[in-house]
Every structure is written in C-alpha cells, then in structure tokens.
Structure 1
Amino acid sequence: MKAATVSQLKKELSYRSPEEVLEICLRLSKFKKENKELLTYLLFESTDEAGYIESVKNEIDLEFENINTNTYYYIKKSVRKILRSIKKYSRYSQKKETEVELLIYFCSKLKTFKPSISRNTTLMNLYKRQLDLVEKIISTLHEDLQYDYRLELENLAN
C-alpha cells in the first residue's frame, strides 16, 4: 500500500465529519508512541511552551543521571539517545526558540558531565556539532533573541 500525500490527506479529512476525524485521531494514537506524544503536545502542552521546555529539561536531567559511566561506549550511546529525544521534542514544537533552548541546555549538561567529555573525541565532536547547529538556528531568529542566545553560546564555547 502506498501512502497518500499530505495534500490528499488534508482534502479527504475536510470531507469527513468532526466525529469521524475524532475517531481517526484516536485510532492513530493507538499505533505509535510518537503519535500519542504529538497529540499530547498539541492538546495539552502547546499553549504553555515554557512549561513544555521545563518538562523536557527535567526529562533530560533524569536521563543524564541514569547514564552508565563505566565506559565511554555506554556514555556515547546514552548521549545519542538523549539527543534523539531532544530532536523529537523539538519537532513536536516546531519552534526554533524551543529547539535552541533545549540544545543549549543539552550542551551545558554535556559540558559539565563527569567523566569529562574532553577525553573522548567522538563526544567532543558531537558537542561541537550541536554548538554549530545552535549557531545556525540562532542566526534565523529575531535580533533580540539572537543576542541573548549568543551570550549563552559563548559561555558554552569557552
């Protein structure tokens, strides 16, 4: 079965009654955890972006506490997992400010992580790539926000 395009889906949904659309959304939420998470964001958390960012930061804190620090191999795997979840939560929000805040928070946690990431080339490269990405996203934001975020970014780069 070939999936329909977004425009085809939009057109078809416009023909359906609100009850049918509700049923389709509920059925969709049963299939993947990501669908349910996105619906949760859209229905409950999209109105309070600051609260959403705080809840994601709390989750990042928990994940950093649970990292197995026996070897750098486990640290790398865990850090990549945390980064994947940050990307997913940023995609739900679709706001560049949210993505910048979460990535800056991630980089600050990674920089202060013990054992130090400076002893591992892969982790340092991952850290630098995230800083570059933040810099790239910041350049697309409003000038006032750019100034504030660049100050934070400079602190991380040093």
Structure 2
Amino acid sequence: MKIESIVTIKKELQHLPKEDLLQLCLRLGRFKKENKALLTYLLFEAHDEDGYIASVKMTLDELFEGINTDSYFYMKKTIRKILRQIRIYSRYSLKKTTEVELLLYFCERLNELKPSIHRNRTLSNLYERQILSLRKKISMLHEDLQYDYNLQLEELK
C-alpha cells in the first residue's frame, strides 16, 4: 500500500461530508494512544495552553515520584522515559514556549533528586545536553521571553 502525501489527504478530506470526517477521526483515535492523546489536546486543551502545561507538570511530578533511587541504572531508565514523555507532550502544542517551560521544569526536578544526578556521569551529561538544548530553543524566541527564560536557566546553574 502506498501512503499518500499530506496535500493529497487534505484535498480528499475537503470533499468528505461532516459525518464521514467524524467517523474518520474516531477511527483514527482508536488505533494508537498517541492519536487519541493528540485529539484530546486539540479538542479540550489547545485553547488553554497554561492549563495544559500545568496538567503535564502534574503528570511529570507523578513520574518523578515513581523514580527508583536505589540505583543510578534505574534512575537513568526512568529519567529517559520522562524525557521521551516531554518530547511527546511538547509535539502536540505548536508553541515553542511550551517545550521550553516543560524542559525547564524537567531540569529543575532533576536538580532536586536525591541522590544527586551530578554524581553520575551519564545523568550529568544528560542534564548538560538539556541545558544546551534549552539555550538553543530560547535563542529562537522573542527577546522578552528570552530574557525571562534565560533568568530561569541561570538559576538552574
């Protein structure tokens, strides 16, 4: 089966009646958890970005509370899982500030972990990569936002 381009799909969707579009969206939501999560974001949370960020932060708090701190090995696995979740959540929103805020929160929570992540080279390097990534993402934002986010970033150091 040949997968069509987005342009072709868009043209075809324009010719469908409202009922058929509804059925296609519902069917799409059944196939993958990510599709359902994206539909949930678009329908219920896209109009309130601050509320969305707050709900994602609560989810991240739950994931951080579940970290097994007995071993750095288990910590690394869970922290990488949390980072994947952040990337997924930030992809739903088309706003760059959402990703920056979530990554800043992630780095704050990493600094609060006990035992310290800075005692483990892998976790420390992961943290430093996120800081570098944040610097790049912040540099692409509006000047006022850059100033505010850079202040938060400096507090992390």
Q: TM-score, normalised by structure 2?
A: 0.98
Q: Measure the CA separation in 2 of the matches of 1:49 and 1:17.
A: 30
Matched residue count: 157
- Runs of 5+ consecutive residues of structure 1 not aligned to the other structure: none
Instruction: Tell me which residue corresponds to 2:146.
Output: 146
Alignment of 1:41-120 (within 5 A): 41-120=41-120
Question: What amino acid is aligned across from residue 132 of structure 2 in structure 1?
Answer: D
Q: Measure the CA separation in 1 of the matches of 2:138 and 2:118.
A: 25
Q: Could you tell me how far 1:100 is from its partner in structure 2?
A: 0.3
CA deviations 1:73-109 (Å, max 9, x no partner) are 1000000000000000000012100000000000000
Alignment of 1:19-38 (within 5 A): 19-38=19-38
Q: Measure the CA separation in 1 of the matches of 2:57 and 2:146.
A: 21
Q: Measure the CA separation in 2 of the matches of 1:115 and 1:3.
A: 48
Q: Measure the CA separation in 1 of the matches of 2:61 and 2:27.
A: 33
Q: Measure the CA separation in 2 of the matches of 1:22 and 1:74.
A: 43
1:5 paired with 2:10, answer no
Q: Measure the CA separation in 1 of the matches of 2:113 and 2:70.
A: 13
Instruction: Tell me which residue corresponds to 1:121.
Output: 121
Q: Measure the CA separation in 2 of the matches of 1:42 and 1:18.
A: 18
Runs of 4+ in structure 1 off by over 3 angstroms are none
Give the fraction of aligned pairs with identical amino acids, expressed as a percent.
61
Question: What amino acid is aligned across from residue 74 of structure 1 in structure 2?
Answer: Y
Q: Measure the CA separation in 1 of the matches of 2:143 and 2:35.
A: 34
1:156 paired with 2:156, answer yes
